[in-house]
Amino acid sequence: MRLDRFVSQAAGISRSQARVLVRRGRVSVSGERVRDAAFAVADDARVELEGRPLALPQPLYLMLNKPLGLLSATTDAGQATVLSLLPPEIATRLHLVGRLDKDTSGLLLLTDDGAWSHRISAPSQHIPKTYLAGLAEPLAADAELRLAAGLTLRNEAQPTRPATLRRLSDTEVRITIAEGRYHQVRRMFAALGNRVTSLHRESVGGLTLDPGLAPGQWRALRPEECLAVLGD
């Protein structure tokens, strides 16, 4: 990690304030004064600010019940994003682990641990995600078979990976997919000649949205929940 980023995160100050402190020679790394803000801090380095040891804050792992109508993005010029639901001092640290459409609700994960989010979102990982979907039309009789076989989505050559489906009523289903293509669930039902009218994510890997979280609410994950997402 760059030294200015380290100092900013560890001391809870802005990057520009951190750069000023580094340039003024107030920061040392493993006993040596360093004035280069881009200096790469090794994992085992001892960083001190004016002689006091600095340590990075513990990584954050959050689940949020995304309400309808907010964008899954960290910034947007015109529209409100899910980060507006969090205190600014936390929001600035976090990135989203995958996205939900503006008109999808449910389980969204946020963290500042890039390795963890990569293990969840990397296409090679195939972490299952379960959604509750409302449909415009009664579901076709062969939907389960077609989803299990893989569907070819519009403008895509590669069929989808097998997905599982549970019918809750004629027009309500629970679907589990192990990929994260753009608008994937909506496009899968479009390929089946149907249309999704509501979509809510219930779980990612072995982690289910806390039923105690109303739309817009969030909480930190417990260590065992961080592992459960990965199926560990």
Distance between CA atoms of residues 143 and 137, nearest Å:
12
Return the residue of 19, 119, 186, 200 that touches ligand URA, per CB under 6 A.
Answer: 186
111 binds ligand URA (CB under 6 A): no
101 included as an active-site residue: yes
Nearer Cβ to ligand URA, position 101 or 210? Answer: 101
Q: Both tokens of residue 194? A: 């149907």
Closest listed residue to residue 1, CA positions, set 108, 114, 86, 98: 114
Radius of gyration of the chain (CA): 22
* CB contact set of 133 (below 8 Å; sequence gap of 6+): 172, 173, 174, 175, 185, 189, 196, 198, 199, 200
Q: Does position 163 bind ligand URA by CB under 6 A?
A: no
Task: For residue 109, state whether it binds ligand URA (rule: CB under 6 A).
Answer: no
Task: Indicate whether 104 belongs to the interface with ligand URA (CB under 6 A).
Answer: yes
Smallest distance, ligand URA to C-beta of residue 102, A = 8
Residue type, 124: S
Tell me which of 44, 101, 103, 112 is the catalytic residue. Answer: 101
Q: Residues 100, 120, 135, 204: which binds ligand URA (CB under 6 A)?
A: 100
Residue 29: strand pairing partners: 32, 47
Active site residues per annotation: 101
Name the residues that contact ligand URA, by CB under 6 A.
100-101, 104, 183-186, 199
